[in-house]
Chains A and B, each alone.
Chain A
Amino acid sequence: MVAHAEDVVPPRPALLAFAARWLLTTNHKEIGTLYLWLSFTLFFIAGAMAMVIRLELFQPGIQFAQPLFYNQMLTMHGLLMVFGVVMPGFVGLANWQIPLMIGAPDMALPRLNNFSFWILPFAFTLLISSLFMEGGAPNFGWTFYAPLSTTYGPPSTDFFILGVHMMGISSVLGAINIIVTIFNLRAPGMTLMQMPLFVWTWLITAFLLIMVMPVLAGVVTMMLTDRHFGTSFFSAAGGGDPVMFQHIFWFFGHPEVYILILPGFGIASQIIPTFARKKLFGYNSMVYATVAIAVLSFVVWGHHMFTTGMPLFGELFFMYATMLIAVPTGVKVFNWVATMWRGSMTFETPMLFAIGFVILFTIGGFSGLMLALVPADFQYHDTFFVVAHFHYVLYPGAIFGTMAAVYYWLPKWTGHMYDERLGKLHFWVAVVAVNLTFFPMHFSGLAGMPRRVVDYSLQFADFNMVSSIGAGLLGLTQVLFLYIVIKTIRGGPKASARVWDGAEGLEWTVPSPAPLHTFETPPQFPPVMDRDVDEGTPIRNE
């Protein structure tokens, strides 16, 4: 990763060369690295905001954050985590891995790839800079419901709108690139139904992105015209409807939550077979289940809106459709368990994170099923029960998924093995901290604590204190993760090409670290796997 500067530019002053290399690069690996570092940086910023939130909620009463500032923190935390951490993180993984996994020399549209990335730092700088503007940053929650965000939004809302447009353009271009790459650049002989599942889930994610990011762009544009150009899309006074905002938003928002999780499914489907040393169980049903989830995700948006005064028929429709999603999701979980069944498992860090993903994500899935039942949702809705639910699917889902992927492929990217002891330590502390942080939220929600409050009544105090302690611990694990990653980049035991003895797939046929240019001539598919793997994971008989 570090030694290839000379490939790109002739000798120039070091700083300039460095800047030019990263600004102008069209190499999928370098762009992948950029995406991952951007995601990691924003993870620390958005995480710091979560720390402010948890510090304030440590006890009842106002201690550290005034209400208006608190609302800005929870809004920015949500926006940055969704759009700045999870999405770019997954795109970074896609950039690195999709060409390697399908045997392509690069992404199909390398310049577009560069452009997609370089929009993002500007979009997020714009968004974060709103914290320092008159009137403060957006303070209406990441769901930015009208009219709180339109008529009543702070002036910085317009910067937020522009920022969302920029992120949307980046995502759509990135998604187009991924689709084109997957359809056109697969190694000769690799049919769609032979693609690794990570590639499959990303293909479906990319279609979701293309379909819903324009809807998001539409809704923020309608906000903009409502705010400045005299329209009344979301204002009843002018003949519009604030609930229409929610319909449009969640028509984007529900597929969006699957955008945030499907690549994670793909990652688990790569890692579990590797460390179970057994082929993925039910490959076909995995693909079909992912497609089914993606299709269903377009007809369940109403389950975010049961209390808005939806007619009975609408409530029933969205309830049944939502419950139906449990079926393909269940199929995936059962397939992972069946993959492990009678395998020959070892538990290196990527496997630990993947198993943590499956178990904790499933818990989030269970609470999702409970939330689907409309009468019960009337009690759960907009309480901390919902906060617990979506943090269970997003932290151990999207974030554990990404971390599992980083541990899994880091030796391929850097050529070094990470420190296994530290990796395991990271996992165990993270698992404890995640549960300490988010499990009590179920209880405070059931007891009646609304979400997005800066202060709460005394009955919720104990649960909140535990959550805050957990969150502090969870914050510390990120520092450990950063340390492990940097340590691995700088050195460590040399990784072999195959890295893991159970690993299958084209990415493990190129040397570690993967050279800047790979598969300049199309590889043979299916590949012959190298038997020379790292110490500690002896070769098994096929």
Chain B
Amino acid sequence: MTSFAGRLKCGLMTSVLWGFSHPAAAVVLDLREGVTDMSRRIQELHHLSLWICVVMGVVVFGAMFYSMFAHRRSRHPQPANFHESTLVEVVWTVIPVLILVFMAIPATTALMDIEDNSDADLTVLITASQWKWHYQYLEADIGFYSNLTTPDEQINNLAPKGEHYLLEADNPLVLPTHKKVRFLVTSNDVIHSWWVPDFAVKQDAIPGFINEAWTRVNEPGLYRGQCTELCGKDHAYMPVVVHVIPEAEFNQWIDDQRLARELASGEAVADRAKTWSIAELMTIGEQVFLGHCATCHEPTGLGQGSTYPALAGGVIPTGPLTAHIDRVMNGKADTEMQAWAPQLSDRELAAVITYERNAWGNATADVIQPRAIYAAR
């Protein structure tokens, strides 16, 4: 643990090195226009309400400042005596009501369209968990996880930050242009919220309940957003990345995904047939651990206090093997230790468990083969 002063110095130094090196983007003060009809309507609504507020502000503050200038004691030593006027009071009650009605109309019509989830061309089930998204294409029966890819070195100021710092993911959600896509949003653990500012879609992911939203994107591109509901430690590290491509390309992509799934299952068969050496498993295991587990258990395996247990010398990682396999594959209910069986392949699971049982002085010498994981599924 470095001293506070040390950290301050370090922070300031890295700031000089990397902090200011980001490309000088034009300063944007407005709500984003986005790329859907709805996001544009919402931007217009934003402009409408903003300008109404600005005008009211100019009137009210203008009167105030004029009064402060003209009715200060040095200019206006004798205060007036009035202190009520029914007419004035009625007027400034009725006018705001009219303005509010004027604002409520476009808001209501937009809202009715937002809540119309019917006639979708495509449905994607979005399942949040700490701190990643899972996307399932219900019609095509394809699913995958989407994780942050920003390296730790960038987060800890040891490397320059990339252009899409914190807004980059390994597997973006892929959508076709011009199609009405319906999202079903839910969560496996705590509440998260799925947001893509450019689509103006924000929907809470609530464990045990399924929410609906929809979008129709007209322009192909990569769109980035984030989880917007505090969901624990790595709430800031839960990007939403959506890749929108023309329909033909999208269909091709779906076919590719199917093919990849078959290849993967072929690979899995090969993985099971092979007997892996401890060295091979340790190498893969370390990668898996750093990619998926280290955020809680720390790269050193020492954990973080009582919140995230140490695996170095830990009870389960040095105890009976079946318990260890069970804990990693099925997690522990109602804790942040989630089930990894749906997320990782047999090979990855075998490797990470082997790694945990032999790294950081855990000298069990156990080697877990992918076929053992397959059997435990």
Contact = CB atoms under 8 A, between A and B. Distances in A.
Interface residues of A, number: 103
B63 interface: yes
B19 A59 contact: yes
B100 A381 contact: no
Nearest to B68: A345
B167 A457 contact: yes
A327 B27 CA distance: 35
A59 to B, nearest CB: 5
A331 interface: yes
Given A282-B89, A370-B49, A457-B166, A148 B155 contact: no
Given A327-B93, A344-B76, A379 B166 contact: no
Given A363-B57, A455-B236, A241 B208 contact: yes
Nearest 7 Cβ contacts at the A-B interface:
A236-B208, A309-B211, A453-B236, A366-B53, A63-B11, A342-B80, A382-B228
B230 A140 contact: yes
Given A237-B207, A337-B67, A450-B226, 16 more contacts: A63-B10, A237-B208, A276-B71, A282-B89, A312-B115, A327-B93, A340-B64, A362-B57, A375-B200, A376-B45, A376-B46, A376-B107, A378-B202, A379-B197, A382-B195, A447-B28
A242 B209 CA distance: 9
A347 B111 contact: no
A135 interface: yes
Contacts of A58: 15
Given A382-B193, A382-B229, A337 B64 contact: yes
Interface string A121-165: 000000000000011100111000101100110110000000000
A505 interface: no
B266 interface: no
Q: Interface SS of chain B: helix, strand, loop or mixed?
A: mixed
A277 B201 CA distance: 52
Interface string B36-53: 001101100110011001
B173 to A, nearest CB: 17
Interface string A338-376: 111111111100000001001100110011011001111
B92 A61 contact: no
Contact of B206 (A308, A362, A378, A459): A308
B154 interface: yes
Interface stretch (B174-182, B279-287, B303-311): B303-311
B29 interface: yes
A448 B208 contact: no
Interface in B131-180: 154-157, 161, 163-167
Interface string B78-89: 111111100011
A279 B79 CA distance: 10
Contact of A379 (B84, B191, B193, B200): B200
A231 interface: no
A289 B46 CA distance: 27
B309 to A, nearest CB: 11
Interface string A301-312: 000000111011
